[in-house]
Structure 1
Amino acid sequence: MRLDEAMRGVDAVGTGVPSYLEVNGVQYDSRRVVPGDIFVAMRGGATDGNRFIGTAIERGAVAVLTDSDELWKRPAMLYPGTPFYLMEHGRRALATVSANLFGHPEQALKISAVTGTNGKTTTAFLLEQMLRSAGRRCVLVGTIETHIGDEVRPSEHTTPESRDLLALFADGIRVGATEAVMEMSSHALEQERVWGLPVDVAIFTNLTQDHLDYHGTMQAYFEAKARLFAGVGAPPPRVAILNADDPDGGARLLQQNLSSGVMSYGMNAGEYRAERISLHAGRTEYLWKTPVGAVEIVSALTGRVNVYNLLAASCAALARGLSLEQIAEAARLLKPVPGRFETVANELGITVVVDYAHTDDALRNLIALARELVGNGRVITLFGCGGDRDRTKRPKMGRAAGEGSDLVVLTSDNPRTEDPAVILAEALAGVTETGAKYIVEPDRAKAIELAIHEARRGDIVLLAGKGHEKVQILNGVTVPFDDVAVAAAALQAH
């Protein structure tokens, strides 16, 4: 593709750019540049891509987009012969160039996007399964893994940068995909990593405290997620699916004059409502009443929180053209999501559950579900708090754990670069307020062994926080760690 074609629609000023120059691709990471690429050098939260322009050119970049006015003023002196563009918005430019070079795959897919604090991953997984059950070929992009039709790839980020996301979409088009289901994090919406994506169906699951280390306030956090419903460099979604039972997220959006068609869901409010709910371990049943009819939903998913996830996914599937009967049939066949209330098999009569719950609200919901299932047994909750993240939620998580559990085992999650002892002390402050019994063990493997050793037949042990993750970050170093594998070994030794 010619450079001027790749730059079509980009808001940038160029220096003597030869329109006939051929380009092959685009990169924002200098380590991935190959000859013929455009390099987009932009300032980020952790680093400044402008520092690596020289490296990119050495690796074969044939043109550079920069958001550095200083570099723009003297590119001929620094890098003679290389066309430079000055851009005001780096991520917008990256998205536009990428879309041009990949042939606008986003326009060939019907995109369903899920945002919210909790439930994004599960809702996205369930929706993809529903669409596939109706014969649709899908791209799935989310926290745990990425699906390109039948191919499964690991995910590095909940929502990738636009260049990588569009590359995934293009791969999906090549295997016949017509649908894309993706999680949209508040970071991605705020940073405009999803610039220009024409979302067809948008879902808001709920809003509880998280990521205040980045957003600062709950209002800013809400506004970042709400950007999905206004459109980020694209028109608003055709359909907005909102949790009417969620006062801080969906219910607030319901009060706004959205230009999208609105589908509201819930157990207590909403037009698409779950009634006559029956909850059992490994089985959930309810009557789904909608403006277009009612149908019995039966699923192997467990718990009240999954009723909300099922409602959100079902509304989206309905908006994407599935019938009530197709959705009910798909619900019966849904597979659980890795690391979301995932049980660890054993013959000891102890229920061991691995779950991603890493906010106080998610932890409270997880413990409430365990309490419903455990009968006369005890609830033992192991959790930790992430380092280099919102510190204000640590005592709240401690209170949530202490209020609902018979025993709390406090340990490390991903301390990252923080001192684990400091993190534990801040979380412990919340636990001690409740008067709950507790054990503190910074070593997560030892803590899991302790929690299982304390359990008796009929008890439930919750290993919260890491879920599907297969690594732990300690003192800035990433090491292999799998809650499921560690728990399985501890059960074997019990």
Structure 2
Amino acid sequence: MDVNQLLAGLTTVARRDGIADVTGVEYDSRRIKVRDAFVAMRGETTDGNRYIEAALTKGAAAVVTDSREAYEELALKHPTLPVALVERGRRALAEVSAAVFGDPEKRLALTGVTGTNGKTTTAFLVESLLKSVGRTCVLIGTIEYHVGDAVRASEHTTPESRDVLQVFADGVAVGASEAVMEMSSHALEQERVWGLPVEVAIFTNLTQDHLDYHGTMERYFEAKLRLFEGVGTVPPRVAVVNVDDAYGRRIVEAARHSQVLTYGFDEGAEFRAIDVRMKAGETRFTMMTPKGMVEMLSPLTGRVNVYNLLAASAAAYARGLTVEEIVAGAARVGQVPGRFQVVPSGSGVTVVVDYAHTDDALRNLIALARELVAPQNGRVITLFGCGGDRDKTKRPKMGRAAGEGSDLVVLTSDNPRTENPSVILAEALAGVKTTTGTTCIVEEDRRGAIEIAIRAAKAGDIVLIAGKGHEKMQILAGGTVPFDDAAVAAEVLEEL
């Protein structure tokens, strides 16, 4: 498209026109192609304005910058280059990308999911329900991206707007009419989802996480709340909110410009679960809906997945599915990788891989395991670790949660990143020691720890391998190495 037309659509501080035809957009100079527009913006770890010359060398046809210094320097060094100076680089990236990709966000009905726990499973469930009635979808989330039936690797829970809009455009090209996205608190606060019109917004819950970034729970909540206020757009048409959560009740009060559908176990919830019955690989419950009661059956297990099913059901209802279609779709959903993922075993021991990486998620996971082993008088063996370079205050809390609910705890490394693993282990171990009489084995090597946990189990026991879930890598100070909890567990089980 004509560069002057492109730049004219931006909210600019200053602009210099030129002659160019722009065919793409990038914010990473390493990915620049000839005739791309380069959006140079300040980020959390680097400043894209340092790479303007590299982008021009590779053929960038125009530059959008959030640095006045860079703008003035370009006027001297490249007087004929089309350049725009903007106040907010990420907003400009979203606006330029939407124009270059042909505004695909306007041709998809977007469901956004936010919250501490349950985002990934809820997003998968919403997509599954929409697909069950023949709709083609785009999914963007922690585990992977979907474009129709094609699966792509996920680099971020919520990528930069340029990459979101590329996926949306690819989805529109294959006939997608729906999009489902996990929207992290980081992405909402950093405006990586700027300008995306949200049709349905889901709030799952809020528990302590990411305080290394947000600082306080209130700021963390305020970041989540942005989804329901509209990030550069009008508020969502429908807000689906967990009213069993105290922060959810605050969102109900704030979402005055949206239709609100509530869910939970609370009597006032419009989508409510009663008479829950579950076993490994199956959950049944009666769901109260605005259209009456229906019987739900799902291959997913646990109370947390009842919440996820309620949220997805309310969102699907908001997207026009009947309760009968929701019931039929819920019965056919598949297992979500790394979310209560059962590793096949013929030993009588149940081994589960789960992404639980907060004290609340760990406590819920252990409570579910306790319910499942109760009929056999089995034990709960919990393996967990804590991530490095992240909120340190939750480490003893996770240790306490593991110690209070488990018969045996195996403490190991998660993703230590640049921190000393032994320091992380000591901080988590302090929490375990506040419980009474729970045995804790410390093994820094995660592979060795998984073997210890499984070898300690007997028929009727359940082994929980928590923290990394779907992840296929372990991040160490010396670099990233391949590591898959489920694959390692399967190897150990086969050896046994």
1:439 equivalenced with 2:437 (yes/no): no
Q: CA deviation at 1:483?
A: 0.4
List structure 1 runs of 4+ shifted beyond 6 angstroms.
none
1:28 is aligned to 2:30: no
How far is the alpha carbon of 1:492 from its aligned partner? Answer: 1.8
Matched, 1:458 2:460: yes
**CA-CA distance at 1:63 after TM superposition:** 1.1
1:303, 1:377 → 2: CA distance?
17
Kindly indicate whether the alpha-carbon contact (under 8 Å) linking 1:5 and 1:100 is maintained by their aligned counterparts in 2: no
Residue in structure 2 matched with residue 417 of structure 1 by the alignment: 418
**Residue of structure 2 in register with 1:211 after alignment:** 210
SS where residue 134 of structure 2 aligns? coil
Q: Which residue identity is paired with 2:282?
A: R
After TM superposition, give the deviation of residue 280 of structure 1 in Å.
1.8
**What SS does the corresponding residue of 2:16 show, helix, strand or coil?**
coil
1:315 corresponds to 2:314: yes
Amino acid at match of 2:104: P
Q: Partner residue of 1:392? A: 393
Equivalent residue of 1:232, what SS? Answer: coil
8 Å Cα contact 2:381-2:407 kept in structure 1: yes
Distance (whole Å) between structure 1 residues aligned to residue 16 and residue 490 of structure 2: 63
For the pair 1:258 / 2:259, whether they are aligned, the reply is no
SS in 1 for 2:34: coil
Give secondary structure in 2 for the equivalent of 1:255: helix
d(CA) in 1 for partners of 2:93 and 2:271?
Answer: 39
Q: 1:6 to 1:15 in 2, by over 3 A?
A: closer
1:4 paired residue number: 4
The amino acid across from 2:102 in the alignment is G
Moved more, 467-476 or 26-35: 467-476
Cα drift, residue 276 of structure 1? 1.7
Within-5 A mapping of 1:10-409: 10-18=10-18, 20-247=19-246, 249-256=247-254, 258-269=256-267, 270-375=269-374, 376-409=377-410
Where does the alignment leave 5 or more consecutive residues of structure 1 unmatched?
A: none
What secondary structure sits across from 2:383 in the alignment? strand
The alpha carbon displacement at 1:120 in A equals: 0.2
Please tell me the residue identity of whatever aligns with 1:472.
Q
CA RMSD, 1 decimal? 1.1
Relative to the length of structure 1, the TM-score reads 0.98
Q: 1:78: how far off?
A: 3.3
Secondary structure of 1:273's aligned partner = strand
Equivalents in 2 of 1:301, 1:34: separation in Å? 45
Provide the rounded CA distance (Å) in 1 between the counterparts of 2:414 and 2:76: 49
The alignment partner of 2:63 has SS state of strand
Unaligned runs of 5+ in 2: none
Aligned residues: 492
Equivalent residues of 1:388, 1:418 under 8 A apart: yes
**TM-fit CA distance, 1:10:** 1.1
SS of residue paired to 1:74 = helix
CA distance in 1, matches of 2:79, 2:6: 21
The counterpart of 1:468, out of the listed 467, 470, 474, is 470
Contact 1:8 1:100 in 2 (8 A): no
1:14 Cα deviation from its structure 2 partner: 4.1
Q: Which amino acid aligns with 1:124?
A: A
The AA in structure 2 aligned to 1:384 is G
Cα drift, residue 83 of structure 1:
2.4
> Cα distance, 1:430 vs. partner?
0.4
SS of equivalent to 2:240: strand
Report deviation, 1:482: 0.4
Q: Quote how far apart the aligned CAs of 1:15 are.
A: 4.4
